[in-house]
Amino acid sequence: MRAGEAVMVELSRLANRAIRYHQLALALELERAADRLSDELDEEEAVNDQAGVPYSVYPCPVPAAAYPPRAVVLRFIEPRMPSCRRKADAARASFDARRTLMQQCLRVPGS
Protein backbone atom coordinates (compact mmCIF):
# COMPACT_ATOMS: atom_id res chain seq x y z
CA MET A 1 0.00 0.00 0.00
CA ARG A 2 2.81 2.42 0.86
CA ALA A 3 4.51 1.81 -2.47
CA GLY A 4 1.22 2.35 -4.30
CA GLU A 5 0.66 5.62 -2.48
CA ALA A 6 4.19 6.74 -3.40
CA VAL A 7 3.48 5.97 -7.06
CA MET A 8 0.24 8.00 -6.81
CA VAL A 9 2.23 11.01 -5.58
CA GLU A 10 4.70 10.62 -8.43
CA LEU A 11 1.93 10.30 -11.05
CA SER A 12 0.34 13.47 -9.68
CA ARG A 13 3.67 15.30 -9.80
CA LEU A 14 4.27 14.20 -13.40
CA ALA A 15 0.73 15.16 -14.46
CA ASN A 16 1.21 18.62 -12.96
CA ARG A 17 4.50 18.99 -14.80
CA ALA A 18 2.87 17.86 -18.07
CA ILE A 19 0.20 20.54 -17.62
CA ARG A 20 2.86 23.16 -16.93
CA TYR A 21 4.55 22.27 -20.24
CA HIS A 22 1.25 22.20 -22.17
CA GLN A 23 1.26 18.44 -22.72
CA LEU A 24 -2.41 17.94 -21.97
CA ALA A 25 -2.73 14.51 -23.61
CA LEU A 26 0.08 13.19 -21.42
CA ALA A 27 -1.49 14.77 -18.33
CA LEU A 28 -4.81 13.04 -19.08
CA GLU A 29 -3.09 9.67 -19.55
CA LEU A 30 -1.24 10.09 -16.26
CA GLU A 31 -4.51 11.02 -14.55
CA ARG A 32 -6.23 7.90 -15.93
CA ALA A 33 -3.34 5.73 -14.72
CA ALA A 34 -3.55 7.36 -11.28
CA ASP A 35 -7.31 6.73 -11.19
CA ARG A 36 -6.83 3.03 -11.96
CA LEU A 37 -4.13 2.68 -9.31
CA SER A 38 -6.21 4.61 -6.78
CA ASP A 39 -9.18 2.32 -7.42
CA GLU A 40 -7.03 -0.77 -6.87
CA LEU A 41 -5.64 0.65 -3.63
CA ASP A 42 -9.16 1.54 -2.48
CA GLU A 43 -10.35 -1.98 -3.23
CA GLU A 44 -7.48 -3.51 -1.27
CA GLU A 45 -8.11 -1.17 1.65
CA ALA A 46 -11.86 -1.92 1.62
CA VAL A 47 -11.22 -5.68 1.63
CA ASN A 48 -8.73 -5.46 4.50
CA ASP A 49 -10.89 -3.08 6.54
CA GLN A 50 -14.06 -5.10 6.17
CA ALA A 51 -12.23 -8.38 6.82
CA GLY A 52 -10.76 -7.03 10.04
CA VAL A 53 -7.15 -7.27 8.89
CA PRO A 54 -5.17 -4.96 11.20
CA TYR A 55 -3.28 -2.12 9.56
CA SER A 56 0.02 -3.42 10.94
CA VAL A 57 0.05 -6.29 8.43
CA TYR A 58 -0.73 -4.19 5.33
CA PRO A 59 -0.19 -4.33 2.43
CA CYS A 60 -1.07 -8.01 2.66
CA PRO A 61 -1.16 -10.46 5.51
CA VAL A 62 1.82 -12.78 5.25
CA PRO A 63 0.13 -15.95 6.52
CA ALA A 64 -2.77 -16.17 4.06
CA ALA A 65 -4.75 -18.59 6.23
CA ALA A 66 -4.61 -16.28 9.26
CA TYR A 67 -7.37 -14.04 7.85
CA PRO A 68 -10.05 -16.28 6.29
CA PRO A 69 -12.66 -13.47 6.50
CA ARG A 70 -10.67 -11.66 3.80
CA ALA A 71 -11.62 -14.34 1.24
CA VAL A 72 -15.29 -14.00 2.18
CA VAL A 73 -15.26 -10.20 1.84
CA LEU A 74 -13.33 -10.43 -1.42
CA ARG A 75 -16.19 -12.44 -2.98
CA PHE A 76 -18.57 -9.55 -2.29
CA ILE A 77 -16.28 -6.67 -3.26
CA GLU A 78 -14.58 -7.90 -6.44
CA PRO A 79 -17.78 -8.13 -8.53
CA ARG A 80 -18.68 -4.56 -7.52
CA MET A 81 -15.38 -3.04 -8.65
CA PRO A 82 -16.20 -2.52 -12.36
CA SER A 83 -19.48 -0.72 -11.64
CA CYS A 84 -17.85 1.37 -8.90
CA ARG A 85 -15.14 2.42 -11.36
CA ARG A 86 -17.75 3.39 -13.94
CA LYS A 87 -19.57 5.51 -11.33
CA ALA A 88 -16.33 7.26 -10.36
CA ASP A 89 -15.41 7.84 -14.00
CA ALA A 90 -18.88 9.21 -14.79
CA ALA A 91 -18.66 11.57 -11.81
CA ARG A 92 -15.26 12.81 -13.04
CA ALA A 93 -14.28 12.84 -9.39
CA SER A 94 -10.95 14.19 -8.19
CA PHE A 95 -8.64 12.00 -6.10
CA ASP A 96 -10.25 12.68 -2.70
CA ALA A 97 -13.81 12.62 -4.02
CA ARG A 98 -13.06 9.48 -6.02
CA ARG A 99 -11.65 7.72 -2.94
CA THR A 100 -14.76 8.61 -0.92
CA LEU A 101 -17.03 7.43 -3.72
CA MET A 102 -15.11 4.16 -4.07
CA GLN A 103 -15.15 3.50 -0.31
CA GLN A 104 -18.91 4.01 -0.19
CA CYS A 105 -19.51 1.92 -3.29
CA LEU A 106 -17.34 -0.98 -2.08
CA ARG A 107 -18.83 -1.10 1.43
CA VAL A 108 -20.50 -4.46 2.07
CA PRO A 109 -23.89 -3.94 3.77
CA GLY A 110 -23.80 -4.93 7.42
CA SER A 111 -20.04 -4.61 7.88
Q: Which long-range contacts (CB under 8 A, 24 or more apart) does 53-59 make?
A: 58/1, 58/2, 59/1, 59/2, 59/3, 59/4
| DSSP 3-state of 1 | coil
pTM recorded for the entire structure: 0.68
Residue 61 banded pLDDT, cuts 50, 70, 90? low
Q: What percent of the chain has pLDDT over 90?
A: 21
Task: Say if residue 1's pLDDT is above 60.
Answer: yes
Mean pLDDT of the chain: 83
> What are the boundaries of each domain within the chain?
2-106
Residue 66 banded pLDDT, cuts 50, 70, 90? low
pLDDT at 65 (0 to 100): 54
d(CA 53, CA 47): 8
69: CB partners within 8 A, 6+ apart: 51, 52
Q: What is the pLDDT of residues 12-51, one digit of tens each?
A: 899 999 999 999 999 999 999 998 898 888 888 888 888 8
